[in-house]
Amino acid sequence: MTITRRLFMASVASSALLTRTARAAETAEVIYFGGPILTIDDANPRVEAVAVKGGRIIQAGSASDVMKLKAGDTTMVDLGGRAMLPGFFDPHGHMTFGGLQALSANVLAPPDGEVTDIASLLETVKAWAAANADMTAKAKIIVGFGYDQSQLAELRGPTKEELDTISTELPVFLVHQSGHMGAFNSKALEIVGYTASTPNPPGGVIQRKPGTNEPLGILEETAFFEAAPKLLGNVGPDGLLALAEAGAKMWASFGYTTAQEGRSNAVVDAVLRQAAADGRFPIDVYSYADVLLGADYVKGAISKSYDNGFRVAGAKLTIDGSPQGFTAWRDRPYYAPIGNFPPGYVGYPAVTNEQVLTAIDFAYANNLQILVHSNGEAAHDLLIAALRAAEAKHGRGDRRPVLIHGQFQREDQVQAFVDLGLMPSLFPMHTFYWGDWHRDHTVGPALADNISPTGWYRMRGSRFTSHTDAPVAFPDTMRVLDSTVTRRSRSGDIIGPAQRVDVMTALKAMTIWCAYQAFEEADKGSIEVGKRADFVILSADPTAVDPEALDQLLVTETIKDGKSIFVRGQKKADLMRPRDVLNPGFYEMFKQLYVMRQLAVLPESHQSPETRVLIEASYDDCAATLLLPWLFGLDEHYQDVAAN
């Protein structure tokens, strides 16, 4: 932290103190009024108006009290019946990777998009590229996700010449809904280096113009998977800055005023630090660096305060895989797994016992926070043993270790985690996206009810947080809220009625408890005098609508430090954000790239189809983030960073 920054923080802190005592002398820069204001402060749950000065809340209370702070130049913001809450605080997501999702045109067919034929596909991408010209220029690429020729009137994908009508200067890269093929314009093919003389790679096809060898623009399977990283590698460090910026803006558009980089490393942190220094982040961004990729780096990088809106907050450890992919490490066999699994298959750990014990001991010994991805019961048993050992050796302290996902838990494990002072960051969004899958395949109907067991934590008086793990899902706050409250699956089932919580509890799991999880509760997470003026404005009061309609609420405005940073527009070429699909092409493409990359670093004797299946099944967002430096051509850049 620079000296000026430190002085600034000190002056902010003292002015925050002053407002508590000498409030009468203050005048407000902005006053919000005219709608329900939910403070998420149990001592003062609803107020009529809020006054802001210097990016901080200077009054929150009755309209008459707050209006006393009004001066001639005070900006008055009439909520017009919309609801104001503290800004949402992301307890676990992957912002930079999410940026690629944010920087993509939506070329899905109805109902998730508007593309019905080649003409509407081209029009959609053109409109999107025009609306996001500054971003596409910085990222040096135009990307779209989700076209499907079977849904297009012509029953074929677009040719390179058709895509050249979008741009001849920038590469255009449209990913098929399957994630296994894509359409490229001439510039993109040029960057990739595919010409008439390029043979089809084994396991892939470069589609050709009829009667010639000239590429048509459509690439399939390995031809596609080998081309995609070359194209994304062309993006380079500058492009990654643009992705990070796009990610931050996307998080802001869902009402987040603090976003997480949930598994970073020295390279990604360097990019984020640069983006922050360049003033590209409208919101605060905090990161957790993979402890197995560099414990010393983590130790040296951690900071309690933000520098230009960025800080490294702690370490990240990943114990096992993904519950929907049957790679969460369980204490009992999977219920009815789909795939070639041996009898009694329980998944497996991604690390050794020793690595887990060492990493947790490292966190406790150095008094730092660690986020632990752990999904299956066996993974939790190991985590509990490691936490107990570290606590016995180093004492309880106040390190707030975090359980990430905790999808399958026994009730005794919930009790153990509560006893150990662990913060559970759960994933109730799973009840919507994969609830039916868990009921039918992973754990069966009885145990599916207890995935992300928010109710068990509340019974014990424990806080919890509710995350999106975006970009696995979009960082859609209203989907998080809805699924934490209703636990309704896509088929309409309620996955665990007893684990449901009320709307106010779910809101705490998106605000004040997230701030607590990140040691920022003195500054964020509720609307209280002295805290940051970070707000979200929703289309209606979430406590006053039918819970089944919570997902229909809209984030209409996001405010950071008293300044409006996102206002919902009516643009047709809005960012891609289907609400009910997981952007399958995006997910699948990165899974395949991940498998390709992971297989490539193994000795040839280990590159078997069985290994491939296991690697494929272990894929999730936390895993995908490991691809970033390689995918965006930062491996060389990494050497520089590591040397510094």
Q: Report the residue number, 561 or 621, with the smaller CB distance to Zn ion.
A: 621
Nearer to Zn ion, 182 or 262 (CB): 262
Location of structure tokens 């859609």: 476
Q: How far is CA 178 from the centre of its chain?
A: 22
Q: Which residue is nearest to Zn ion (CB)?
A: 622
Q: Which segments of 140-185 does DSSP mark as H helices, in order?
A: 160-164
Min separation Cβ 38 and Zn ion, Å: 28
Taking the least distance from each CB to Zn ion, the nearer of 467 and 560 is 467
CB of residue 409 vs Zn ion: minimum separation in angstroms? 15
Q: How far is the CB of 420 from Zn ion (least distance, A)?
A: 20
Handedness of CA 391, 396, 397, 401 (dihedral sign): positive
What is residue 452's DSSP assignment? S
| Bridge partner list, 74 | none
Cis omega (within 30 of 0) on the bond before 36?
A: no
| Cβ 94 to Zn ion shortest distance, Å | 6
Three-state SS at 486: helix
Taking the CA atoms of 483, 484, 487 and 489 in sequence, report the sign of the dihedral they define.
positive
Q: Indicate the residue among 98 and 262 with the shorter CB distance to Zn ion.
A: 262
Residue in this structure with the two tokens 């957790």, named with its chain if needed = 288
Nearer to Zn ion, 262 or 629 (CB): 262
Neighbouring residues of 60: CB distance < 8 A, sequence distance ≥ 6 = 37, 39, 44, 47, 49, 50, 51, 66, 527, 528, 529
Q: What is the DSSP string of 535-589?
A: EEEESS-TTTS-GGGGGG--EEEEEETTEEEEE----TTPPP--SSS--HHHHHH
- Distance separating alpha carbons of residues 533 and 90, to the nearest angstrom: 17
Nearer to Zn ion, 368 or 622 (CB): 622
Q: Which is nearer to Zn ion, 318 or 484 (CB)?
A: 318
| Closest to 223 measured CA to CA, from 270, 282, 280, 182 | 182
The least distance separating Zn ion from the CB of residue 322, rounded to whole angstroms, comes to 7
Residue placing its CB nearer to Zn ion in the complex, 56 or 373: 373
Supply the minimum distance, in Å, between the C-beta of residue 621 and Zn ion: 4
Residues with Cβ within 8 Å of residue 43, at least 6 apart in sequence: none
In angstroms, give the least distance from the CB of 472 to Zn ion: 7
The nearest distance, CB 611 to Zn ion, in angstroms, is 21
The distance of closest approach from Cβ of residue 598 to Zn ion in the complex, given in angstroms and rounded to an integer, is 16
CB 406 within 8 A of CB 452: yes
Decide whether 115 or 328 has the Cβ nearer to Zn ion: 328
Q: Are 382 and 330 in contact (CB under 8 A)?
A: no
* Minimum gap (Å) between residue 371 Cβ and Zn ion: 9
The SS3 call for residue 424 is strand
Question: Which among 195, 196, 202 has a CA at the least distance from the CA of 221?
Answer: 202
Q: Which residues of the shown chain bind Zn ion in the complex (CB under 5 A)? A: 262, 373, 469, 621-622
**Shorter beta-carbon distance to Zn ion: residue 529 or 623:** 623
User: How many other β-carbons are positioned within 10 Å of the β-carbon of residue 43?
Assistant: 7
Q: Which is nearer to Zn ion, 245 or 469 (CB)?
A: 469
CB closer to Zn ion out of 427 and 513: 427
- Across the beta sheet with 204-208, the strand order is 104-106, 142-147, 172-176, 181-184, 215-220, 204-208
Distance CA 396, CA 530 (A): 30
Burial of 134: CB neighbours in 10 Å, binned 0-12, 13-18, 19+: exposed
Question: To the nearest whole angstrom, how small is the minimum distance from the Cβ of residue 622 to Zn ion?
Answer: 3
Q: Taking a C-beta distance cutoff of 8 angstroms, is the pair 271, 241 a contact?
A: yes
| Nearer to Zn ion among residue 255 and residue 262 (C-beta) | 262
Shortest CB 469 distance to Zn ion, Å: 4
Give the Cα separation of 93 and 260 in Å (integer): 5
Nearest distance, CB of residue 263 and Zn ion, angstroms: 6
Distance between CA atoms of residues 363 and 371, nearest Å? 10
Q: Report d(CA 579, CA 170) in Å as an integer.
A: 29
